Structure 1
Amino acid sequence: MESRIYGYARVSTKEQNLDRQLVALKEQGIDERNIIVDKESGKDLDRTGYQALINTMLRRGDTLIIKSLDRLSRNKCHIKKELERFKENGVRIKVIDLPTTMIDFPEGQEWVMEMVNNILIEVLGTIAEQERNSIKQRQAEGIAAAKEKGVDLGRPKAQKSENWESIIADMRAGKITATKAMELTGTKRTTFYKLLNS
C-alpha cells in the first residue's frame, strides 16, 4: 500500500486563524484533503480531528507533518507519548519548525536524527508546557485584577425594556397574555419571569 503524507493544524479557539499553518503545510506538497484541522485547546489530546487522524487515517509508513511541536499538544508528557505512539506504529513525524526532522538521513544513519530530535523535543516540549502554564497564570491574574476592580465577570444582568412598565400593566389588567408581553418586551421566558419577580 502506498504511503501517504498528512498534515495537522491546530489553533486553540474558533477566533484564531489557521492560515499560516495551512500555507506552511501546503508548501510541503500536502493535498488539502489530507490536512486535518482542529480549533481546540492543546491542553489534552481529546480533539475531534486529531483523534480521527490517529485512529482511522494514519497507517504504518505514512508521514505526518505539523508546523510546530506545540500543535500536537502543550503538555510535555502528551508530546512524548504521541511521539512514542508514532514510532511504534511506524509513522514518520516531521516538524517544519524543527529542520532536523525534515531531513531524510541515509539508511543506517537514522539514529543521528533520532538523537538530535530527542534533545530538541525535550527542550521544546518543556517550553510548550511552560507557555501553557504562563497563559493559565495570566488568565488567573487578569480575573483576580478584574474582580478587585469590581468588574462583574458573569453574564450581564437582564435589563427591563423601556416599555416594560406599560406592557406589564396591560398584562396584569388582562389586556394581553404573558406570551404577548414577552414578545413585546423582547425577553425570553426565564428572563421575563426573573424580571417580573425582581
Structure 2
Amino acid sequence: MSKIVGYARVSTKEQSLARQIQALSEYVSEDMIIVDKASGKDFNRDGYKSLKCGIGKLIKGDTLYVTSLDRLGRNKEQLKEELRYFQSIGVKVKILDIPSTLNNVEGNEWIFDMVNNIIIEVLTSIAEDERKRIKKRQAEGIASMKIIDGKRIGKKGNAIGRPPKTFPENWVEIYNQWKNKKITATYAMEILNLKRNTFYNLVKKYENKLQ
C-alpha cells in the first residue's frame, strides 16, 4: 500500500513547526509527518534522510507533501537533484504553495510530470543566476581590494590568497646538486618534498634573486 508522508523543517531548535504541521495535516496523517530542526543548506538531516533509507523510505507510488520548496532545502542545485531523484523512483512531491502540484492526476500522470519538469527547469535557472551573481560579487570584491607589494589586501588588512611558497631549509644545497647535474630534478623534488610546479617556480624565483 502506498504511503502519504509529510515533511516539515525549520532552521533552528527555537523555531516552531506548528504552522507547517497544521497545513500538512489537511493532506497527511499527523503521525506520518517527518520533521527536522536543521539548516536547509544541504540535505544531511536525520529526518530527511529517513525518507530515502530505512523503514520509512519512500518508494514508487508514495507521495511526499511539503508546504514549500524551501522547506525541503535552500540550495537550488541540490534541490533540483532531489526532485529528480523522487521523480526517477516514482514518488510524487506535492508542494502546498504550488497548487498545480496538488491536482489529482490519476490516469494523467504526464500532467504531474510536466509540472515537475517545469519546476526543475525553473530551479536550474535560479541556481545558475545565483552562481553568476556570486561570481560577479566575488570578482567585484577582489577588484576593489588594495594591492600592496603585489598582494591583494582584505578589509581586515590581511593578505588574500594562498601564501607564497618559501624555500626549504636545504634548498641551496639540493639546488646546486641538481644544477650541477649530480642529481635529477625528480630526485631533488623528492628530497625537498615539492611538487613539480612548485619546484620550478622556486627555481625561477631563486635564479631571479641571483641575477
Band of TM-score, shorter chain: 0.5 to 0.7
Alpha-carbon spacing, 1:44–1:21, altered in 2? closer, same or farther (3 Å): same
| TM-score using structure 2 length | 0.55
Tell me which residue corresponds to 2:72.
72
Q: What amino acid is aligned across from residue 16 of structure 2 in structure 1? A: N
Tell me which residue corresponds to 1:13.
12
Secondary structure, counterpart of 2:53 in structure 1: helix
CA distance in 2 between partners of 1:92 and 1:65 (Å): 8
Q: What amino acid is aligned across from residue 74 of structure 2 in structure 1? A: R
CA distance in 2 between partners of 1:89 and 1:114 (Å): 12
Kindly indicate whether the alpha-carbon contact (under 8 Å) linking 1:100 and 1:116 is maintained by their aligned counterparts in 2.
yes
Structure ID, larger Rg: 2
Q: Where does 1:141-152 land on structure 2 (aligned, <5 Å)?
A: none
Instruction: Please list every run of 5 or more consecutive structure 2 residues that lacks an aligned counterpart in the other structure.
Output: 138-154, 156-211
Kindly indicate whether the alpha-carbon contact (under 8 Å) linking 1:42 and 1:70 is maintained by their aligned counterparts in 2.
yes
Tell me which residue corresponds to 2:99.
99
Cα RMSD of the aligned pairs, angstroms, is 2.5
Which of structure 1's runs of 4+ aligned residues deviate more than 2 A?
Answer: 109-127
Q: What amino acid is aligned across from residue 68 of structure 1 in structure 2? A: S
Task: Identify, as 1 or 2, the structure richer in helix.
Answer: 1
Q: Where does 1:115-154 land on structure 2 (aligned, <5 Å)?
A: 115-123=114-122, 126=126
Q: 1:128-169, CA deviations, whole angstroms, 9 ceiling, x for partnerless residues?
A: x96xx99xx9xxxxxxxxxx9xxxxxxxxxxxxxxxxxxxxx
Q: 1:8-62, CA deviations, whole angstroms, 9 ceiling, x for partnerless residues?
A: 000011111111110011011x122210000000000000111112212112211
- The number of equivalent residue pairs is 130
Kindly indicate whether the alpha-carbon contact (under 8 Å) linking 2:12 and 2:38 is maintained by their aligned counterparts in 1.
yes
Kindly indicate whether the alpha-carbon contact (under 8 Å) linking 1:100 and 1:117 is maintained by their aligned counterparts in 2.
no
CA distance in 1 between partners of 2:70 and 2:35 (Å): 14
CA distance in 1 between partners of 2:48 and 2:9 (Å): 9
Q: What amino acid is aligned across from residue 77 of structure 2 in structure 1? A: C
Q: CA deviation at 1:85?
A: 1.1
CA distance in 2 between partners of 1:90 and 1:15 (Å): 35
Q: CA deviation at 1:89?
A: 1.5
Tell me which residue corresponds to 1:84.
84
Q: 1:109-129, CA deviations, whole angstroms, 9 ceiling, x for partnerless residues?
A: 3333322333244436738x9
Alpha-carbon spacing, 1:91–1:113, altered in 2? closer, same or farther (3 Å): closer
Instruction: Please list every run of 5 or more consecutive structure 1 residues that lacks an aligned counterpart in the other structure.
Output: 138-147, 149-198
CA distance in 2 between partners of 1:98 and 1:33 (Å): 24
Tell me which residue corresponds to 1:24.
23
